[in-house]
Structure 1
């Protein structure tokens, strides 16, 4: 069955939250777009999604106009543009392309009060179209169903330890997996949404104190921002704040600091294709007696599947047999259940490849511990093979993070004529801190087998997606283009 797609290009504002309900209630499919995309990429996604309407925040209007101008050269009919304005404006405007621009609040005022909700005819009907963040390749359109969103939103409420009438602070982009389905979860629990147009240290701490925030979520970069906030910005929290994080495992040092600030971190793992977090590190009471450092290391594991998901396995991608639970043998994380996507829009081959063998193949490598908890080691494309030895970049990054001067770190493989490739670390230091390449390398060699320690250290900012994930494919391209470089370099 074909559904109209409605695109949205907006930060975490009330209108963006409203669209998560209004669009499905009108029988359409919400396509929330990455707010960091440029006009060229927005035009590609508008064309691919065939969106009939695009709702745009006033701060992103120029991006949208540029996208429509590009799109006008390829299609005969452009999507209608609705402007989410910060002030009252005329109902109709006209842009340079001659298409009408409607203002959001005025447009809503023309609605029919007796309109009846268009309920899905089938629970597998699409509710949302989400494009992958593009950390590895061109974004793909992931189709979410009403059933999957329903199950994942209720599971997300449990994962977030979200009680009745929570106060939720939006630091996770709503366009990212529909805010990990927490857009719907907060409503299910009768909660209050605190929207931050932009995420800053001051905004986070002030909002928590002012509004008595109970829950929030964000990538490890958000956690890193919180623990490194200036003393003048940090404020004592009136209560423990439950915060979900996902993506790369937060280093133990970050988890320890978050706990000191009165944040309870729940670490999950998932992908756009799994509606956000699919697993979480369910905490065992017996771990409370361990040292803080040991607790943090366990906390960084991805754990077990949430209650709404059928199964998560770590398997040999060729034989499809599960790896032994020895915490050593690596395999690919594979997932199946109702909270896995319907498929990729207009890409049957990619869908078939993703589900080859009857499981969704994540492309992530992990080990399985004797207690059944999984621990992510790397993406299959990120693993470094040096002299025949597999090196987990996550493990190396965790050690680099433990250096007191380091704010951010990412490790990729650098081509090497003798070893095949060797670890290359990109490092961003904290403001006011200094560290040399030799110091970083020694820090790693003192804590890791020497072959795992980086041979090259580059001090620079890390390229990120809007969801806080490091774009390692960009770093690999940069390293490949460098050829032979000195041990330390400043770009």
Structure 2
């Protein structure tokens, strides 16, 4: 199964039957599956989240409702018609459904559980969907193709009002059953709690390696641990808080800027439907923060308005130096933003893709 290729060229991930089976059993132990559930599969089956969930459905004996692609009006109609109880969506899909006029017209009361993952979600999206479906059980799964896919889960009890007020929805939860998780420095040494480092993982769900890529396999799999390339910190209770893909971190004037933090602030603006933040070349600072923004239908924003909005919440050096407005963002088949397509034109002709 191939990686999403959002930050680089996709790699073939070699997964054994044991890897897939272990990942499904681990997930089922964390969030019990029932035979009366009706699970809607919107995620494509070439994406590990879709495949692993289908296999879990086969094991548990629930009903599987498959659609050929994500089409918002059709998805909403199917939830109503098939009395769907469970589904998994990426944040861009949730945003699209919430903005669709059919969302408030359809009877979605059968939907009991919604898992989201694959990319960061804005807190406002969580609040919006729970305002419309207050009984919905939300859970967040963090993982990657190389882990088949689950590394950690943030369960429904961490999405209650009290938990949201404590900031637990910003976490991706704790390591799943049978999975060891650590946050380490560049030398592979575990860092103190609250310190940002790289997430590494080991367990029976971890891949065999990358197809025909011995060098990249050796970099990713070291001493029995998978090095994820994701930057995060872990609190005293073992909750993981993702900061950014390490490849997406922007170094501007010697300061680290995490694109996910800036994106989270920008998406809080009422006129913003979607955004992506990347680093682009800058003669003085090495890299500059650049935001690509999609406005909601019928709204508009200026570059200065975006910067002013950001300055209310984050330090000046983290605010976008430039803002670009588009009608849409490039997405993978699984609905994840293709940052490399946004970044490549700015770095064309450069000897490297970062400074």
TM-score, normalised to structure 1, is 0.67
Match of 1:386 in 2: 252
Residues 196-232 of structure 1, C-alpha deviations (whole Å, 9 max, x = no match): 1221222222111111111111211111112111157
Q: 1:463 aligns with which of 303, 327, 330?
A: 330
- Equivalent residues in 2 for 1:378-457, closer than 5 Å: 378-457=244-323
Q: Closer, same or farther in 2 for the Cα pair 1:289/1:228, shift >3 Å?
A: closer
Match of 1:300 in 2: 170
Residues 66-98 of structure 1, C-alpha deviations (whole Å, 9 max, x = no match): xxxxxxxxxxxxxxxxxxxxxxxxxxxxxxxxx
Q: CA deviation at 1:283?
A: 5.3
Match of 1:7 in 2: none
- Equivalent residues in 2 for 1:74-93, closer than 5 Å: none
User: Which whole-Å CA distance do the structure 1 matches of 2:15 and 2:311 have between them?
Assistant: 45
Q: CA deviation at 1:180?
A: 4.7
Larger relative contact order (C-alpha < 8 A, sep ≥ 6)?
Answer: 2
Residues 145-185 of structure 1, C-alpha deviations (whole Å, 9 max, x = no match): 11121121223335555323310111111111161511111
User: Which whole-Å CA distance do the structure 1 matches of 2:190 and 2:51 have between them?
Assistant: 28
Q: Closer, same or farther in 2 for the Cα pair 1:396/1:465, shift >3 Å?
A: same
User: Which whole-Å CA distance do the structure 1 matches of 2:210 and 2:300 have between them?
Assistant: 46
Q: Is the contact between residue 147 and residue 338 of structure 1 (CA under 8 Å) also seen in structure 2?
A: yes
Match of 1:268 in 2: 141
- Equivalent residues in 2 for 1:332-347, closer than 5 Å: 332-347=198-213
Match of 1:115 in 2: none
Pairing 1:475–2:346 present? no
SS in 2 for 1:131: coil
SS in 1 for 2:247: coil
User: Structure 1 residues 443-452 or 174-183, which shifts more?
Assistant: 174-183
Q: CA deviation at 1:289?
A: 5.8
Q: Is the contact between residue 258 and residue 264 of structure 1 (CA under 8 Å) also seen in structure 2?
A: no
Pairing 1:207–2:75 present? no
Q: CA deviation at 1:359?
A: 1.1
SS in 1 for 2:313: coil
Q: Is the contact between residue 400 and residue 444 of structure 1 (CA under 8 Å) also seen in structure 2?
A: yes
Match of 2:193 in 1: 325
Q: CA deviation at 1:412?
A: 0.6
SS in 2 for 1:341: coil
User: Which whole-Å CA distance do the structure 2 matches of 1:157 and 1:208 have between them?
Assistant: 23
Match of 2:152 in 1: 279
Structure 1: 5+ residue runs without aligned partners? 1-129, 484-491
TM-score, normalised to structure 2, is 0.91
- Equivalent residues in 2 for 1:22-421, closer than 5 Å: 130-159=1-30, 162-177=33-48, 179-231=50-102, 234-262=105-133, 263-282=136-155, 288=160, 290=162, 292=164, 294=165, 297-307=167-177, 309-318=178-187, 320-326=188-194, 329-421=195-287
Q: Is the contact between residue 305 and residue 312 of structure 1 (CA under 8 Å) also seen in structure 2?
A: yes
Q: Is the contact between residue 151 and residue 179 of structure 2 (CA under 8 Å) also seen in structure 1?
A: no
SS in 2 for 1:404: coil
SS in 1 for 2:73: helix
SS in 2 for 1:381: helix
Structure 2: 5+ residue runs without aligned partners? 351-355
SS in 2 for 1:290: helix
Q: CA deviation at 1:450?
A: 1.3
Q: Closer, same or farther in 2 for the Cα pair 1:323/1:457, shift >3 Å?
A: same
User: Which whole-Å CA distance do the structure 1 matches of 2:183 and 2:51 have between them?
Assistant: 23
User: Which whole-Å CA distance do the structure 2 matches of 1:415 and 1:281 have between them?
Assistant: 37
Residues 1-44 of structure 1, C-alpha deviations (whole Å, 9 max, x = no match): xxxxxxxxxxxxxxxxxxxxxxxxxxxxxxxxxxxxxxxxxxxx
Q: CA deviation at 1:141?
A: 1.4
Q: CA deviation at 1:420?
A: 1.8
User: Which whole-Å CA distance do the structure 1 matches of 2:193 and 2:156 have between them?
Assistant: 19
Q: Closer, same or farther in 2 for the Cα pair 1:289/1:193, shift >3 Å?
A: closer
Q: Is the contact between residue 76 and residue 102 of structure 2 (CA under 8 Å) also seen in structure 1?
A: no
Q: CA deviation at 1:371?
A: 1.4
Match of 1:112 in 2: none
SS in 2 for 1:443: helix
Q: Is the contact between residue 427 and residue 458 of structure 1 (CA under 8 Å) also seen in structure 2?
A: yes
